[in-house]
Structure 1
Amino acid sequence: NIIYGFCDTLPLIRNVTGKTEKNANTLVTLANRFGMDVIKAHNAVEDCKFLAKILIKLGISNDCMINTSKSMDNVLSQMQKKNEIKVKIKNLQLDELETCTTANMRAKMAAADISYVMIKTIYMDTKNIMDLKNLFGIIDENQN
């Protein structure tokens, strides 16, 4: 069978194992769990063999993978959107906030067209945290 598209197996594996911790579902971890010899791990061909065996051991079917696969167009579109966000983060100077925000937060700010200059200007002009909360659309438990 030939499958046209891409399937991210990690979410499928996490769903079956119930483990979401970092490194809990790596190929080597899972291969060790199933008693496989991992001496050849980190070799592309061998890793594919490990993955195939692990998917069978976990009961993840071809149909399951086909149903969760994405088309090449979808993957390329996602890649393009990520690249556009990276450019936007750079253009909005949001990389200045790298030490105090997550990449996900900077991506959300870029999507909302919030720039580093806007944040700095609002804070420097007003010295009011509420103005920043308004910029980000944050409402606290007291509706302030």
Structure 2
Amino acid sequence: MFSKKSIFTFLQAQVAAFLGGITDYGLMILLTEVFKLHFAFSILISGIVGAVVNFSINRFWVFKNQSGYSSHINSQLLRFALVVLGSISLKSSGTLILQKVFQIDYRIGRLITDSFVSYGFNYPLIKYWVFKVNEKQKVIKLN
């Protein structure tokens, strides 16, 4: 059902997501607790920084063999930026809803929201849209 390569790619993507997520989550806490920004703004800022970490690791390590360096980074960056905007929106609104409606601390609500957004939104879009291999690239690799 799943090849060793697809499982390995998934695990690599989880490492990239974890490192980007740790950067994102740590910066969110710092901006909220130390600099007293509202957590929704902290999520926006930290999400952008975490996205840069995540994109870099995905492009140069995880999906390097699929999209290679011949792919146009501009189109990947544009698609990735759209995924990040959607991700940040989902994380911010999900965290806010959990905090306002269910009285869950924003730090816990963020972790809950992140788990759904990461696996249900980010990973599929990054793998199948941002760093997808098109038919032309497959032919070039086979030659």
**Structure-1-length-normalised TM-score:** 0.26
Query: Could you say which structure has the higher helix fraction?
Result: 2
Q: Which has the higher contact order (CA 8 A, sep 6+)?
A: 2
Which structure has the bigger radius of gyration? 1
